[in-house]
Amino acid sequence: MPTLYDYLDSGNGYKIRLLMAHLEQPYRRVQLEIFHGASRTPEFLAKNPNGRIPTLELDDGTFLAESNAIMWYLAENTTYVPQDRLGRAQALQWMFFEQYSHEPYVATARSLIRHHAPDSPRRAEVPERQVKGHQALAVMEGHLARRSFFVNERYSIADIALYAYTHVAPEGGFDLSAYPNLLAWLGRVASQPRHIRITDTPMG
Amino acid sequence: MPTLYDYLDSGNGYKIRLLMAHLEQPYRRVQLEIFHGASRTPEFLAKNPNGRIPTLELDDGTFLAESNAIMWYLAENTTYVPQDRLGRAQALQWMFFEQYSHEPYVATARSLIRHHAPDSPRRAEVPERQVKGHQALAVMEGHLARRSFFVNERYSIADIALYAYTHVAPEGGFDLSAYPNLLAWLGRVASQPRHIRITDTPMG
């Protein structure tokens, strides 16, 4: 049974938990208090030298890092990864978009607000993150104007990757009411079989 | 024949040019003057709503964005993508590492120095980018201490993704002499058959 090194509030960790729930894959979960340095200890850096969760430990002791790469490993050759060459590349396109143009703004605005006091100097970074985050949300809104899901009109790991931090974007100060197609897509994702919430831990 | 929307100085664009050279894949190249807004025109945003190069136009008129997703599309089922499930996930792990933990620091330090005057206020961002860039380079150095290439001891698109901005890191003020294993790897990449330089355009 694989072991997931995780942090419950993390959207990147939630991607793996949500996919595992869809796949009905049992796993152990280890909660690391990342805001108290638990992902930068010598012990954890031996598992992932980049010092980040989620990290997945496979049965043979191999460690795999990067949420979207872990999802690819778990979902390859299931219905959660497109079955055609172009579809696979388009799923990866949206997953790289998520990590480069979305997560650094939508997720970090939320993290700054949740984990730094209102008078912290770090809070000064929030407005610019929100501007760039809205740019990413607008790209998603345009794509979803004519589509039900991101690739091939079928729910896939590309949707999971983008759902993870988008559905909690209001916690980062993002008003999503200007994005009706995005809101409808959030509802479609949440209605998928075996969906769990970001606060749900495995096996209830 | 596919069309690559590109900018010659871009490491992300170079990834595609280098892989195309390895694959002996003919293509058209369109140079966009991205520092003069050419990737944010209505015409280009219709091709890639995220307004970034590289973007690849396929023969059927489909546009594919995100350098590492384009590489996956071009190289799937060739020797440049690992043939085993874990190897594919590890290649993606390093490609997501590149876009999240490496490119935003190693590439942008170079871009700030090359495209902003020494007295520009943007130059104030360089030192922090260099600190985080060195953290990424140190992770690479550690991985390469016991390996010839990033995955399965074989040159792959993971190496191309990381080579693109690492080999020009000195242009961003990074001294690579503290990373002997990384320097040896740079040499192994540059000695691969059909290697081209970042300044080389296709077909000579």
ipTM of the complex model = 0.97
pLDDT greater than 70 at residue A203: no
Q: Which of residues 144-203 of B touch A (CB under 8 A)?
A: none
Residue A166, SS3? helix
Residue intervals of chain A classified under CATH 3.40.30.10 are: 3-75
| Per-residue pLDDT, A200 | 87
Contact (Cβ atoms closer than 8 angstroms) between residue B17 and residue B200: yes
User: Cβ separation of A93 and B142 shorter than 8 Å?
Assistant: no
- Show the CA angle centred on residue A97, arms to residues A81 and A198, nearest 5°: 65
Q: Does the domain at residues A85-190 carry the CATH identifier 3.30.450.90?
A: no
Q: How many CB pairs under 8 A join A and B?
A: 95
Closest chain A C-alpha to B142 CA, distance in angstroms: 8
- pLDDT score for B200: 87
The segments of chain B whose pLDDT lies below 70 read: 202-204
State whether A69 and B93 contact (CB < 8 Å): yes
Q: What is the mean pLDDT of chain A?
A: 96
Contact yes or no for B7/B32 (Cβ under 8 A): yes
- pLDDT tens digits for A128-163? 999 999 999 999 999 999 999 999 999 999 999 999
Instruction: Return residue ranges of chain B for CATH 1.20.1050.10.
Output: 85-190
CB-nearest partner of B96 from A68, A85, A89: A68
Whole-model pTM above 0.95?
yes
pLDDT of res. A204: 42
Q: What is the CATH class of B3-75? A: alpha beta
Closest partner residue to B93 among A66, A96, A139, by Cβ?
Answer: A66
Amino acid residing at B130: Q
* Interatomic CA distance for residues A192 and A24, integer angstroms: 13
